Amino acid sequence: MSEETSARLYLVAPAGPGLSNCAEALERLLTENDVACLRIAAGAASEDDLCRAADTLRPICHAQDVPVLMSDHFRLVTQLGLDGVHLTDGSRKVRSARKALAKDAIVGAYAHASRHDGMTAGEIGADYVSFGPLTQSSLGDGVLAPLDLFRWWSEMIELPVVAEGGLTPEIAADVEQVSDFICLGDELWSSDDGPFAAMKRFQAAISGAAVA
């Protein structure tokens, strides 16, 4: 990644509780910010929840030319008119997802903090990899992805990289020059003062501007 290029935003939306609040805020967030992608987080959601989330969020995103990915359930992607999948088990299912989906579908892989797993995912067909968390969060197994991992990846590997999990505005400011995408989910939806105020803080930190 060029040091002159800032990372773009990548949002994660809940499929179960919180979907309605997310949907209400999403159109404004997409209109006011440069968002590259939205992912529907599967978690413990049922297939009905996932279908409902897809039908709710897809038209909002596609109206803004923002692709929508589903976490893990790649066999639902085509059925629900989505644009790809984000696999949370690293490289294990990349080949299966790539085989099942259209050639132009996006396949991303979460590689925890493993350089090796990220490289493997890329070699077998992933379009991007994500590393994280950067501080303690519900993501991953407790092992943190250090900033040096993103620095190394940005210098050595052409495959786009996403920073996600436990992000603060300050960490986002540190990582944005060595990652292609900054992923925000709970950082927005669980913020005490709401997603718009949280987004303003992240955007200010990334751009180096002061929050009014």
Domain boundaries, the chain: 8-207
Q: Which pLDDT value is given to residue 138? A: 80
What are the structure tokens assigned to 162, written together?
Answer: 């996403």
pLDDT category, 129, cuts 50, 70, 90?
Answer: very high
The SS3 of residue 184 is strand
CATH topology of domain 8-207: TIM Barrel (3.20.20)
Q: Residue 37: in which H helix or E strand, if any?
A: strand 35-41
Q: Which pLDDT value is given to residue 211? A: 52
Q: Which one-letter amino acid corresponds to residue 40? A: I
pLDDT category, 2, cuts 50, 70, 90?
Answer: very low
Distance between CA atoms of residues 9 and 17, nearest Å: 23
Q: Which pLDDT value is given to residue 130? A: 98
Give the chain's count of helices (H) and strands (E).
8, 8
The alpha carbon of 177 is separated from its chain's Cα centroid by a whole number of angstroms, namely 17
